Amino acid sequence: DTEVTQTPKHLVMGMTNKKSLKCEQHMGHRAMYWYKQKAKKPPELMFVYSYEKLSINESVPSRFSPECPNSSLLNLHLHALQPEDSALYLCASSQGSQGRAGNTIYFGEGSWLTVV
Amino acid sequence: AQSVAQPEDQVNVAEGNPLTVKCTYSVSGNPYLFWYVQYPNRGLQFLLKYITGDNLVKGSYGFEAEFNKSQTSFHLKKPSALVSDSALYFCAVRDPSAGNNRKLIWGLGTSLAVNP
């Protein structure tokens, strides 16, 4: 079982709504990630936090806003999304900074987002 | 540029037969290689990785993979397939010499179907 916990598992939101996805890990990892995945496609990196600081933003639209309140928690705030943003959003974590190439990235079960 | 290729979109195998899911890579330095599995409607699960050392790596659920530097390959194998192995498999590579750009580069995935 994954030790990265994501809530909610499913979310349906309108294009004018504001919602948040939440992620928690209890492995003492210091790097946390948000990925977006479309059906049967590889995950696409969105954001990376290293030691609670944003280290990578893969040119993600500002309607997605990440937040790392502490080393165990990661949020993704959603506002004014488009239907094409509907996807599986995966949170992940790894030991040390994201720059440690040998570190394994561990994923949560994801949050299924539908924008209507 | 770093890249990963999974040459087969779909692999079909009979239960009890050996299975192979292929992966080839291209990096400028020595690669760090990973295999992940995604069961239907689930998140990504780490199976195994090659960093250095023995070319044959053993992982979860009876899977193993062999690193072949001359063929730039890292094929995933299992001696006897189970129906429950049916899933989407992703190969990924990191180039530790890539400086700050040490992102995981993903293959497009191979869908494995194990028939009873």
pLDDT at B52: 87
A:B CB pairs within 8 Å: 56
CB contact under 8 A, A90 and B43: yes
Average pLDDT for A30-41: 95
E strands, chain B, in order: 3-5, 10-14, 19-21, 24-26, 32-38, 44-50, 56-58, 64-68, 73-78, 87-94, 105-106, 110-115
- Asked whether the beta carbons of B63 and B75 are under 8 A apart, the reply is no
pLDDT for residue A2 is more than 70: no
Q: pLDDT tens digit string along A61-88?
A: 999 999 999 999 999 999 999 999 999 9
> For B49, what's the count of Cα atoms within 13 Å in the CB-facing half-sphere?
18
Average pLDDT for A24-39: 95
CB atoms within 10 A of CB A94: 22
Nearest to A4 by CA among A65, A70, A101, A90: A90
pLDDT at B99: 62
CB contact under 8 A, B109 and A41: yes
- B108 vs A2, A42, A101: nearest CB: A42
The rounded mean pLDDT for chain A is 93
pLDDT at A98: 58
Nearest CA in chain A to B32: A102
- B44 vs A56, A90, A98: nearest CB: A90
d(C-alpha B14, C-alpha A89), whole Å: 33
Average pLDDT for A90-104: 81
Per-residue pLDDT of chain B (116 residues; tens, 9 = 90+): 789 999 999 999 999 999 999 999 998 888 899 999 999 999 999 999 999 889 999 999 999 999 999 999 999 999 999 999 999 999 999 877 766 556 889 999 999 999 99
pLDDT for residue A107 is more than 60: yes
d(C-alpha B50, C-alpha B59), whole Å: 10
Average pLDDT for A14-19: 94
Report CA A105 to chain centroid distance, whole Å: 13
pLDDT at A99: 59
- B88 vs A40, A98, A109: nearest CB: A40
